[in-house]
Structure 1
Amino acid sequence: MGSVVPDIADIDFDDLTSPQLTDIQRQVLEFTEAKRVEFDIDQMFGEAVEQAGVGDDVDDSDGFADRLAAHLAAIEADEGLRELTRSTLRQRVVRLLRNRLSLTELLKRYPEIESIPIEKPFIVVGMPRSGTTHLVNLIAADPRRRALPYWESQDPIPARGQGPGIVGVDPRYARARAEHDALMASAPVVAAMHDRFPEAIEEEVELLDLDLASYVLEWHARAPDWRDYYLALDQTRHYAYMRKVLQALTFLRGPRTWILKSPQHCEQLGPLMATFPDATVAFTHRDPVAVVQSAITMMAYSDRLRRTSIDPAWLLDYWSDRVHRLLSACVRDRDIVPAERSIDVSFHHLNGNEMPVLEEFYRRGGIELTPQVRARFQRYLDGNPRGKHGRIRYDLQRHFGVSADELRARFDFYFDRFDVRPE
């Protein structure tokens, strides 16, 4: 169950762009800013090898070392990051390297993993705040579906000798729980925006990043160089790598039918369908104003701890452009996915209308929607009403100097293509 933030019926950020830090936040920064964090590739790789408990065998035939160098260069180029964020990103890279090493070792021991079929996955494609998280968590209530909880997305492959302890708790889950508790103490409003509690279903793009080939870094740092580098990659081979990680996760705790989702798929529909040709895809659609204002408000709030200053104009320009790129690619490539195995779901039709949407989605996927699964869906809906963790009061004009209508006008092409209602 996710953490509940008390007394948050309505959340209004009076200090979004000029933050007033709490005592806890000031103490955290005072402690973390005292020492410069260094990104030494050899040292980081050595730490990953030690954590994995395996040899240092890394296959660089696909240019992984070049992607790692570009990834780190993009972090170093962001001069506004606090040491707290640099430390978090350094730990993240070491963790990705460790998981990559562990996967390589697991595949050597069990080569049959790469023969495991990923059968008829359901995939949700859409922008943040368009209903993707709601829909994927709902479908994950079907016990026949394999989903990716947040704790597993962060540490997908257990290191050798690091299985559950005497009380049966996986140490990967315990780490995710401790990190979430620390976040709730330092930035509790995060739950109202996007509560990534350990059990919450997460995006498989985190698995893609084991190959250092996703857009994830853009959410952690101001990294336009990485965006351009990522967009130039041939994602077909990297999506194939992600599929290999899904095969390993299936091997570790099954089953073989997955529910997946990520906004990144909007601009990678070709590689997505080449990798999962029998997938059934649900496209979620919502007024891009809701998407952009949510993203930049969340980023600005997070930046009070992540960065030395907040630049609302930069956030507006970058993320309105980024969402524009994602949606442009979705409009361009939507027909790559066969109509008989896909649906388009408008946000204004989703809330309270989930069961008919699911019935049609399952029908197009050729999967029976049993009474037992229907009952599970209804229990999830009853227990997770919209706004469960409070609602954010957005104010684009006050915080970012743009009106909703001005921002919306940039996305006429999207309204022309899909059934999207201005909010």
Structure 2
Amino acid sequence: MITVDDLLASARDKTGLRDFGDEWFTEPLSVLVRALNEEARLSEAGLVLTRRRLTALLADRLRLRRLHRDHPEVRDEEVTVAAEICGLPRTGSTLLHRLLAASRHVTSTLSWETSYPLPFPGEGPDAAERKQRARDRAALFLRMSPEFGDIHTIEWDGPEEDVILLDRTFTSMSFDSFYRVPTYGTWLRGADQAPAYRELREWLQALQWQNPARRGLPWVLKSPHHLTAARTVLDTFPGCRIVMTHRSPAAAVPSYASMVTSMTGQYSDRVDPVEIGRYWSDRFATTLRAFTEIRRERPDRFVDVRFADMVAAPVAQAEQVTAELGLPADREAFTAYLARNREQRHGRHTYTPEDFGLTEAGLARDFACYEEVAP
């Protein structure tokens, strides 16, 4: 059994700090903890890992408040977000993000710093301890889910989704991707995420303050989570464009179900692929219907990229997107990243919709509204 009070106490004991600041986050944390206890079917190891994970996220909240007290200038950092790349998972968004992030004209969140965004006591500016922990964490993840590397390339020091920073608000699609927590997922998609995105800005400020070379560079970020809060993204980051990647849900949804099945197996011995497939098919169909309305309100804030075009000509697509964002292209960096990406690929990711209780006909029906407006 996990309790919110025990988690808060453990984080305070771990850090020696007391002040969480505004405790608005206890609502999403409470919803999540209830779902974990009642729905997630955690294994004994999964319970231990989950309690440790939630405690670490709370500890980072305490450390961020201390950073603000000790260095109030962090809040003065000017953060400019040029783009949030999103779309259904498995639609080419990761490739596009890593291509754009390779450019010297932009900056992005890196994997090691989304896991460990603040310096440990006594750590130097090279962040050696955090980087080593990130290497070890990535290796452990792949040992626990060896097939995951065939689905998604892990780069401990490469660009990573900013949603991992949002995990510290407990308002994040990460949780229903790693755990069976349907009541949390329902709550999340109806919640006001504005406080979480205000804190996302604070985390970006903290990362930029630690590395002054980032000042003046626009951030290019990415996560499918932003589909659930597109209006909030646009309100929080003026001038930000949403770059949406498009692929037929008949391919994208089963692919993500396969990934979630792999991740959930780290925490539960009772994983039902059919349950996962139907859950995410319903969640994404509902999300895209709401997303369509937001696009109609602010069509000038969106850039579209087709999965087929990303596969056929990734460098050309990256150049086109940077042009739409009003940023200089960096063809040399794009080409170099693409060559490295090809070397990293290994194994094959194989699945069928039926593996997850889905059919192509059913997906076409459920996502018909999206298919009608997708480019």
Using structure 1 for the length normalisation, give the TM-score. 0.82
Query: Are 1:160 and 2:117 an aligned pair?
Result: no
2:250 corresponds to: 289
Q: Distance in 1 between matches of 2:86 and 2:30?
A: 30
1:342/1:361 contact within 8 Å kept: no
2:337 is matched with which residue: 375, 380, 383?
Answer: 380
Q: Distance in 2 between matches of 1:202 and 1:158?
A: 18
Amino acid paired to 1:47: S
Amino acid paired to 2:139: D
2:361 corresponds to: 405
1:361 corresponds to: 321
Percent pairwise identity: 29
Q: Distance in 2 between matches of 1:266 and 1:211?
A: 17
The alignment partner of 1:259 has SS state of strand
The alignment partner of 1:393 has SS state of coil
Q: Distance in 2 between matches of 1:99 and 1:329?
A: 32
1:47 corresponds to: 10
1:356 to partner: Cα distance: 3.0
1:337 to partner: Cα distance: 4.1
The structure whose residues are more often helix, as a share, is 2
Aligned counterparts, 1:307-326, within 5 A = 307-326=268-287
Q: Distance in 1 between matches of 2:13 and 2:120?
A: 10
Q: Distance in 1 between matches of 2:290 and 2:322?
A: 26
Moved more, 66-75 or 301-310: 301-310
2:146 is matched with which residue: 170, 183, 188?
Answer: 188
1:336 to partner: Cα distance: 4.2
1:253 to partner: Cα distance: 1.3
1:204 is matched with which residue: 155, 159, 162?
Answer: 162
2:64 is matched with which residue: 103, 117, 135?
Answer: 103
Query: Are 1:329 and 2:281 an aligned pair?
Result: no
Q: Distance in 2 between matches of 1:305 and 1:362?
A: 38
1:253 corresponds to: 211
Listed as ranges, the gaps of 5+ residues in structure 1 are 1-37
2:169/2:196 contact within 8 Å kept: yes
Query: Are 1:268 and 2:224 an aligned pair?
Result: no
**Residues 170-209 of structure 1: CA distance to partner in whole angstroms, max 9, x if unpaired?**
2222122112222333432110112333123221112122
Give the 3 Å change call, closer, same or farther, for CA 78–184 of structure 1 in structure 2: same
Aligned counterparts, 1:63-212, within 5 A = 63-78=24-39, 80-163=41-124, 170-212=128-170
Amino acid paired to 1:208: L
Give the 3 Å change call, closer, same or farther, for CA 143–51 of structure 1 in structure 2: farther
1:39/1:90 contact within 8 Å kept: yes
Give the 3 Å change call, closer, same or farther, for CA 356–185 of structure 1 in structure 2: closer
2:273/2:356 contact within 8 Å kept: yes
Query: Are 1:277 and 2:238 an aligned pair?
Result: yes
1:120 to partner: Cα distance: 4.4
1:265 to partner: Cα distance: 1.2
1:304 to partner: Cα distance: 4.3
**Residues 151-184 of structure 1: CA distance to partner in whole angstroms, max 9, x if unpaired?**
21112122333446xxx56222212211222233
Listed as ranges, the gaps of 5+ residues in structure 2 are none
Q: Distance in 1 between matches of 2:272 and 2:75?
A: 46
Amino acid paired to 1:151: W
2:348 is matched with which residue: 360, 378, 391?
Answer: 391
Q: Distance in 2 between matches of 1:390 and 1:342?
A: 34
**Residues 277-324 of structure 1: CA distance to partner in whole angstroms, max 9, x if unpaired?**
111331100011222111222233444443232323311221110111
Amino acid paired to 1:202: E
Give the 3 Å change call, closer, same or farther, for CA 124–305 of structure 1 in structure 2: closer
Considering only aligned residues, what root-mean-square deviation do their CA atoms show, in Å? 2.2
